[in-house]
Amino acid sequence: MNVRAIDLAKALAADAQDGLLDGKNAAGPIVIPKIGGGSVTLTAAMGTSALQVAIGAYVGSVINKTNLVSFNIASGPVQIGVNTSGMMYATTPVMPAWISGQGGSATLHATGGTPPYVCALKMGSPPAGIGLATNCVVLGTAPMLGSGITMSISPPFTVTINDAAGAHVDIELRITIVVARPTLIPVQGTLTVNQQGRTRIANANGGTGPLYFASDTFRNGAPPLGTIVNLNGELQGIIRTVGIFTFGVCVIDLIGAEDCGQSSVNVVAAAPPPPSSSTYYWANWSCGSSQCAGLMGGYSGSAGPMCTVNDCNAWGNKNIPAGYSCFHHANPHKKHWNPEEWRLLEEWR
């Protein structure tokens, strides 16, 4: 058949819903995905042909201690359980969970009988805020759970499903209400290459606090080498390569509910250090003339643009234009400038 065992098991379970193993249910023929792509339709004898061969070999062997001379598996539709083909019965034994304070809905299903089906409460009732419509839809807003309560299961209530011919079936239900699962909110962090640091890479909301964070499985991406995801949703450590790195991260709440996704960190190069204070001069306000052709802005604490060494040399200690002041080394003629200082100065300019 070239199908996975789990997919065959699911198909057989779906087939059994109407009480008849015939390769189909109320929705029609049952299709099974094949390994490697494609699909195959379930038949009444699917999965039993090899078993029939094995049973035949056993019956015909010397180790057969039974009185059976043959044993044939039915190759046609097989009646199972207490259900009778064509009769109506419910196929929704379990309701999905509701989230505390949130709306939801679920449809009760039946098979057999004569559709359409109509539903009515027979005994008990769903939790406050949730009701049953005649079209067999259970819907409403779940009540809020009290402080410290993470789950609540309602008392049972009974619903009668009636078909168009007067047949009916009863089904007993409970509704489970749980707190909202936490939701992961990825954030791109930033770290500087080759520097120890930490940066936030995830936030979260919902769930039952306190929340904590952890790396997801390596299949979804491990944090960059040299880093870890800490409990506070931060990436910490040292990264040796510039670039953007993506990795898996999860948020987990107090009761173990989790949400996982991918976050990232942008690793940037370190900013170059400012030149030594011995290699530049400052004017005390903006120079509008060609006399001071330095860069606007400048080193932290300066009051205006940077004036070049040549500017100060040209002005001299006693000939600085009105409104300007070259300080730190007022007369650069008296200072020896080494090649590295000149290089830093030219880079800064």
Q: Is the peptide bond before 186 cis (omega within 30 degrees of 0)?
A: no
The answer to whether the CB of 161 falls within 8 A of the CB of 108 is yes
Least confident stretch, 127-131, 145-149, 201-205: 145-149
Mean pLDDT on 15-42: 77
pLDDT digits (tens, 9 = 90+) for 155-165: 999 999 999 98
* Residue 207 confidence (pLDDT) above 80: yes
Residue of higher predicted confidence among 313 and 184: 184
CA dihedral 219, 221, 222, 225 (to 10 degrees): 130
* Residue 168 confidence (pLDDT) above 80: yes
* pLDDT for position 19: 59
Q: DSSP characters for 109-147? A: -EESSSS--EEEEEES-PPTTEEE-TTSEEEEEPPPPPT
pLDDT band at residue 178 using 50, 70 and 90 as cut-offs: confident
Who contacts 173 (Cβ-Cβ below 8 Å, separation ≥6)? Answer: 92, 95, 126, 138, 156, 157, 158, 159
Computed over every residue of the chain, the mean pLDDT equals 75
* Residue 241 confidence (pLDDT) above 90: yes
Q: Give me 97's structure tokens.
A: 């969970």
pLDDT digits (tens, 9 = 90+) for 84-118: 556 787 877 677 888 999 999 999 988 888 889 99
* pLDDT for position 186: 96
pLDDT band at residue 62 using 50, 70 and 90 as cut-offs: confident
pLDDT band at residue 50 using 50, 70 and 90 as cut-offs: low
Instruction: Give the position of tokens 């909301």.
Output: 205
The answer to whether the CB of 311 falls within 8 A of the CB of 292 is yes
Mean pLDDT on 226-237: 96
H helical segments located in 42-88: 49-59
| 216, HSE (Cβ side, Cα atoms, 13 Å) | 19
* Residue 76 confidence (pLDDT) above 80: no
* Residue 57 confidence (pLDDT) above 60: yes
Residues β-bridged to residue 99? 178
- Give CA–CA dist 330/314, Å, rounded: 12
* Residue 231 confidence (pLDDT) above 60: yes
pLDDT band at residue 227 using 50, 70 and 90 as cut-offs: very high
Residue 184's φ and ψ, nearest 5 degrees, are -80, 135
Helix, coil or strand: residue 53: helix
Taken in order 71, 77, 82, 85, is the CA torsion positive or negative?
negative
* pLDDT for position 20: 61
